[in-house]
Structure formats: structure tokens, C-alpha cells
Amino acid sequence: MESNPDSPDGLPLISELSDSPPLPTIFTDVNVVPEHEKNQLLQSILNLEGEIADLRLKHKLWNEKRREALNKILDIKGSIRVFCRVRPFLEIDRRRIREPISTGSEKIVVKSGGTRKEFEFDKVFAQEVSQGDVFVEVEPILRSALDGNNVCVLAYGQTSTGKTFTMDGTNEQPGIIPRALKELFHQASSEGESLTFSMSMSEVYMGSLKDLLAARPTYRAYEPVTRCNLNIQTDPKGSVEIEGLTEVQILDYAKARWWYNRGRRARSTSWTSVNETSSRSHCLTRITIFRHGNGSSEAKTEISKLWMVDLGGSERLLKTGASGLTLDEGRAINLSLSALGDVIAALRRKRGHVPYRNSKLTQILKDSLGDGSKVLMLVHVSPCEEDAGETICSLCFAKRARAVESNREQVEDLKKQKEKRVHELEECMREAEEECQKVKDQIQKAEFLLIENKRLHSNADQPLEYEENSPESPKQELKAVTETHHQSDQKATRRIISRSLPRFMTSTVASRERQSASERDIVGKARSLRSTMRSSIQFTASHSISFSDRRFKASLQNSSRKKHVETDNVVVNMTESPKCSGLDTKSTSLTRSKMVTSSDPNLRAKLCRHRRRMSDLI
């Protein structure tokens, strides 16, 4: 087909085309997403799903690598680790010029009555160390709980040495438990849906077990919780359960804090000569961690337990002058602490028999102290000279829990080797963590794209909603218009414009109908405006698109033949120009242009489609 020199774009004019054989008619509607695009969307959804599955697998592998490295580190460092924290002086304490306690990073020395005793621990926190610094050292063991190990964090020490302060803290200086809860939810949010938690709180008081989260009887709401002496059961796999213990699902940090505060308030405390609110029991907070395998229904859920235990204060009963109930409470605490010491020592020495049954406390913690579990004991001591005897007792207890090595030289050598290996593993773990993070980011991006594509795909399938004053569905409208077209202008030939123009720029049948009416009107007006040649009429979005149709240009040119009309610059303002009253400003096309700014979600879907088409141009 030869190009026409009279035509500004070199395309043949409609009048010239009338003799050529009819070309297939293609009707396009801006509101209908064609089948090939839907298929493309479906394909990209499938691709993204595959990509996400691959990335999840990659994440799992890196995570396993990190997990392995952390486990090895904890094994090298010892599955039972002991930290020591020295409480700062309180206002009520009598300070001496020469303090009996001096500390290094892993060493604590107690001088008292001419004797000097030195103890080594995995970490020693001096008086000025903050709650945050303590938590940093506790964090790896929490990670291990999230990785599926049973973990036990125990605060041990003489009365009033800061066990409750370390575990619980204050509003300004939160302790390990609130920080751990926060950290768990932080980890859960970055891991997606795979981690959920539940919580229980109990108290071993005078040899019996109390539920601290039990519902209060409504008729005596002021009374303390009465559910006592719960049974401890061990299943064939060795997992320990407490019959009837209240277990609450904790969905977020705020809920977890609420339940924790409630449990704390139910705890048994009383005034002693050394502590106004002395804990007269062992308070056990258990977080059960459910790790659901990668969202797939077949993958089994791993369950691990994180115990955070504020032990009752060990005390020399004679020194505190306890009597009556306080004396009994003290005795009960001391008995169970001694049983705990025996269990830990037996585990440490890998003895065949571990005396778990000697106390309620050790029975409950049985599956979280033994094989595969990680134990962290935080031994608390007072800085005061008058407490030096008690301090030495506590440190001896902790030393018993820690490995006892005989040959000092061997110990030094071993220590160096261990440190080197730990350093290597830490590097390995860091790399795995970084890779995990990278993959996690990629998963997030892919998931975002997937959601977006799914949304577009489902929108493409949705039937469109039409304006109330639009009497017909798009199909009916299309049919009616097609029929009238065929009747009125059977010989009219259309050019295949869908290939030469971006699809969103092609006009709909309905709009072509309206357009030809407008064209007739405008052509008439154009004749009268020939002298001015250039109209300053502006179009709303959808109309300016329609008017770029070459058919319209051609017809304009046809009407003004020899005169040179700059059709490219024809801009028609429907709303402003009264001369364009021939254009129906209430038409569907105009309301469609309003969709662009609509806040109606149904309309937004249409707008979104429109936008996507715009992006096809880029």
C-alpha cells in the first residue's frame, strides 16, 4: 500500500481505503483485559511462586547452617553456662572503704576475714553493668530456643541480691523476661508466620505447684488464685507436662506483657529482714515456641520450651532470724535449690542417674535441663562485706554447676583452642545470618509482586460494574453498537489500529460512536474556525486518547482537505468550552475520567487496570 503525501503521517486516508478489500474488524475495550495478558499474568504468578519456593529452600539451608554453627558454639561453650552478676550497693547497705569483691570479665574474687577465694565463670557482670548488657549475653541462648532447643534461664542467689531485678526488672530498666518476650516477637515478625507462642506461669511454693495464670473465681475476685498442687506428667518421649496448668496463647508483645504482669502479681512474696518484697517461692515462666514448618500443611510443627525461672532466695535461716511460716518457706526453698544443684552436677558429670525426682522444681524442668537442652544459670551476689559468707556459698554452688577442670595448664590450652573454634563458628554464623537476611528480603519482594499480580489477575476476572445511568452491560453495548455500525455503514473499512497504537490508546466501539457524533459536530465547527486553525479546547484523559485516533485525523483532513490542519494539536475542552456543548458532558466517558480520582475501591480496580495499560507504553 502506497503512502499518501497529503497525509501528515503518510498513512492512507479512509476515503482511499474504501476501494481496498475489507480488513478484519478489531474492537477493543479499555475495560477488558485481553486473554493473552491474563495468561501472561498467570505465567508470572506461577514463576513467582516457583521463585518463592526456591528462595524459601535457600533460606532454610542458610538457616540450618546458622543453627548448626550456633549449636556448636553453645556446645563448645558448654550446654550449662554460668554467669555471675554483682548487685550494686543499695542505700540501706553499709559501705566499707575496702570492698570485699573485685571482678574481671570472667573472674570474681572474694576477700573476707583474711581469706581470698577466686571463681571463674563464663561471664561476670560487675555492679555497673546495665540490664541491656546482661541481655546481650543471654540472647544467643534465646535464639537457640527459637531454633528448637529447650532452654532454661535460672536466676540463683541469696535473698536480695537482685534475681527478680535481673529477670523482671523495672519499667525503666526491664529485665530478661520482658526483653526476651520482645525479642521473640521481633524474631517472629521477621520470620513470617512460622513462629507462634504460648505462655504459662507457675510457682513452686512450699513443695507444691501453683498456677499463676488461673482464672480467679468470679464470686471472690479479690482472693488469690487457688489452683494448687498440680500434677506433673512425663510422656513416653520424656516430655514433661503439667496437668491443668493454664496455657495462654500470646499473639503479640502487649498481650504477653499483660499476662506476665498478671502472673507476677499472683506470686507469693513477703517481707523479710533483708528484702521488703522477698520472693518466697520459685517463679517459673514458660514460653512454648511452636515452629510451623514453612507454611506447608505436611510439615510438622516443632515445639520447644523456654523457661525463665526466678528462684527463691537461698538464705542462711539463722542469719535472717526467720521464724514460723517464713522459716518453713526458707527451708523449702533451700531444699529444692539443693536438689537443683545435685541435678545440674549430675548432668555436668554425665552421671547415669540424675536425681530429678527429689524436688518439684527439678521434676518440672526435667526435659529442659538434660540432653539437647541449654541451661544458663545467673548467680547473683551481694557486694557487701557482711554477705561475703553467703556470697562464697552461692559461688560454690555455681562452681559445682560449672565444669570442674583439674589440670590448669590443660585448661588454658583447651580454652585457647575453644576460643579459636568459637571465633570461626561465629564468623560462619554471621555469614549465614547475612545470607538469611538477603534471602528474606528477596522473598519479601517476590511475595509483594506475587500479591500484586494475583490482585491484577483477579481484577481481570471480575465483571465490571457500570454506572447506574449506563443501561447496558459492555457486551450488550458492544453488540448494539456493532449492529448499528454494520447497518449504517456496512462498507466502511477500518484500519487495524490495535497494532500500530498502544492498546490503551485504542478507542472503544461505544466511544467511537460518541466520537463520530462529536467529530461531525467538531468538523462543522472546524469549518467555521478554519481561520483560527488552532483550537484551545482541552480533553479529559480518556477523550484526549480517543482523539489521537488517526481515523479522526483523517476525517478532519478530509473535511478541510487542502487547508492545513494541525490535528495533532487539537485539544478539546469538554467542560470549559461552551462551544463543545455538542459533546455530552454527562456521558459515560466523562464519568470514567472521574474514576481517576475516585476513592471508591471498585473504581480503583478499574483505574488500576488503566494504569497498568499506561505502563505498557514505557
Ligand X SMILES: Nc1ncnc2c1ncn2[C@@H]1O[C@H](COP(=O)(O)OP(=O)(O)OP(=O)(O)O)[C@@H](O)[C@H]1O
Q: Given the complex with ligand X, which of 161 and 304 has the nearer CB atom?
A: 161
* Residue corresponding to grid cell 518476650: 181
Give the nearest distance from C-beta 276 to ligand X in angstroms. 8
Interface mask (CB under 6 A) for ligand X, residues 342-381, using x and -? --------------------------------------x-
Q: Which residues of 145-174 are buried (b: 16+ CB within 10 A; e: fewer)?
A: bbbebbbbbbbbbbbbbbbbbbbbbeeeeb
Give the nearest distance from C-beta 222 to ligand X in angstroms. 24
Pairing of strands 151-157, 374-381: parallel
Q: Given the complex with ligand X, which of 149 and 159 has the nearer CB atom?
A: 159
Which amino acids are annotated as binding site, given as ranges? 157-164
Residue 61's contacts (CB-CB under 8 Å, 6 or more residues apart) are: none
Interface mask (CB under 6 A) for ligand X, residues 137-166, using x and -? --------------------x-xxxxxxx-
Q: Given the complex with ligand X, which of 55 and 401 has the nearer CB atom?
A: 401
| Of 317, 397, 313, the residue nearest 87 (C-alpha) | 313
Q: Given the complex with ligand X, which of 275 and 555 has the nearer CB atom?
A: 275
Q: Given the complex with ligand X, which of 159 and 453 has the nearer CB atom?
A: 159
Give the nearest distance from C-beta 52 to ligand X in angstroms. 47
Q: Given the complex with ligand X, which of 126 and 517 has the nearer CB atom?
A: 126
Q: Vertex 616, ends 611 and 618: CA angle to 5°?
A: 105
Give the nearest distance from C-beta 135 to ligand X in angstroms. 13
Q: Given the complex with ligand X, which of 165 and 397 has the nearer CB atom?
A: 165
Q: Are 262 and 143 in contact (CB under 8 A)?
A: no
Q: How far apart are the first and last CA of the chain?
A: 30
Stretch that binds ligand X, among 144-152, 176-184, 260-268, 271-279 (CB under 6 A): 271-279
Q: Output the DSSP codes for 16-44.
A: HHTTSPPPPP----TTS--HHHHHHHHHH
Strand partners, 85: 125, 380
Q: Given the complex with ligand X, which of 163 and 360 has the nearer CB atom?
A: 163
Give the nearest distance from C-beta 80 to ligand X in angstroms. 21
Residue 37's contacts (CB-CB under 8 Å, 6 or more residues apart) are: 460
Interface positions, 184-243, toward ligand X (CB under 6 A): none
Give the nearest distance from C-beta 74 to ligand X in angstroms. 26
Residue from 90, 136, 228, 614 touching ligand X (CB under 6 A): that is 90
Tell me the number of residues near ligand X by CB under 6 A. 16
Give the nearest distance from C-beta 267 to ligand X in angstroms. 10
Pairing of strands 107-112, 101-103: antiparallel
Interface mask (CB under 6 A) for ligand X, residues 59-88, using x and -? ----------------------------xx
Q: Output the DSSP codes for 561-577.
A: TTS---GGG-B--TTT-
Specify burial of residue 359 (Cβ count, 10 A radius: 0-12, 13-18, 19+).
Answer: buried
Q: Given the complex with ligand X, which of 71 and 279 has the nearer CB atom?
A: 279
Q: Is 313 near ligand X (CB under 6 A)?
A: yes
Give the nearest distance from C-beta 380 to ligand X in angstroms. 6
Residue 306's contacts (CB-CB under 8 Å, 6 or more residues apart) are: 142, 145, 150, 151, 153, 180, 184, 286, 287, 288, 289
d(CA 86, CA 379): 9
Helix (H, G, I), strand (E, B) or coil at 252: coil
Helix (H, G, I), strand (E, B) or coil at 192: helix
Q: Given the complex with ligand X, which of 380 and 606 has the nearer CB atom?
A: 380
Give the nearest distance from C-beta 128 to ligand X in angstroms. 9
Q: Given the complex with ligand X, which of 307 and 539 has the nearer CB atom?
A: 307
Q: Are 7 and 14 in contact (CB under 8 A)?
A: no
Q: Output the DSSP codes for 39-106.
A: HHHHHHHHHHHHHHHHHHHHHHHHHHHHHHHHHHHHHHH-SEEEEEEEPPPPTTSPP-SS-SEEE-SS
Q: Is 175 near ligand X (CB under 6 A)?
A: no
Residue from 275, 359, 382, 507 touching ligand X (CB under 6 A): that is 275
Q: Is 383 near ligand X (CB under 6 A)?
A: no
d(CA 173, CA 413): 39
Q: Are 343 and 152 in contact (CB under 8 A)?
A: no
Q: Given the complex with ligand X, which of 52 and 378 has the nearer CB atom?
A: 378
Give the nearest distance from C-beta 313 to ligand X in angstroms. 3
d(CA 48, CA 453): 9
Residue from 149, 200, 279, 589 touching ligand X (CB under 6 A): that is 279
Give the nearest distance from C-beta 203 to ligand X in angstroms. 12
Which amino acids are annotated as binding site for ATP, given as ranges? 157-164
Residue 547's contacts (CB-CB under 8 Å, 6 or more residues apart) are: 515, 539, 570, 572
Stretch that binds ligand X, among 24-32, 200-208, 273-281, 334-342 (CB under 6 A): 273-281
Site residues (CB under 6 A) for ligand X?
Answer: 87-88, 90, 157, 159-165, 275, 278-279, 313, 380
